[in-house]
Amino acid sequence: MSQELTIDDAKKAMGVHVLEKGYMLREKYGTFIDYGILLKIMTDDNFVRFPTRIEFCSAKIEKGFFALAEKISKDSSDGYVIYVHDHFKKRLGDVPALVLYHLVTVNYGDFASSNDAELFASAALGMKQDEYYEHICHLADQIPYK
């Protein structure tokens, strides 16, 4: 007797997968991920599926958000840009937490959820998911809007 898998099953499997990937990243790169280590991660195809670069550009980001991952073209293999709010240009220590959140979009596209992003990034940074969520909300709240 075969059992049909549901979308809910796929979402649960994705959550487990991104959590494992986050732990693997942490094991490989250590417990402290600074901007320099983040740049190394960005070139590691074990954790970043497509070519991806970071740019600081507030104009691309909606008010209330800290970053955005965007495909360079319709073809994901052409790569992505993760736009980070200019506010963090002089706060590079905060950037890894913000960028790690968006790597699930790079790796899994629209199938990835915000929960998947939080699971991956929190595992990579050695934080509980709720602590990570509060941390990135706190960072986003610090962005000055005119």
At 23, which helix (H) or strand (E)?
helix 7-29
Residues 6+ apart with CB under 8 A from 102: 67, 68, 69, 82, 117
Domain assignments of the chain as residue spans, ordered by start: 7-49+87-141
- 């280590």: which residue's tokens? 37
Q: What is the pTM of this model?
A: 0.92
| Each residue's pLDDT expressed in tens, for the chain with a length of 146 residues | 667 878 787 788 888 999 999 999 999 999 899 999 999 999 999 999 999 999 999 999 999 899 999 999 999 999 999 999 999 999 999 999 999 999 999 999 988 899 999 999 999 999 999 999 999 999 999 998 76
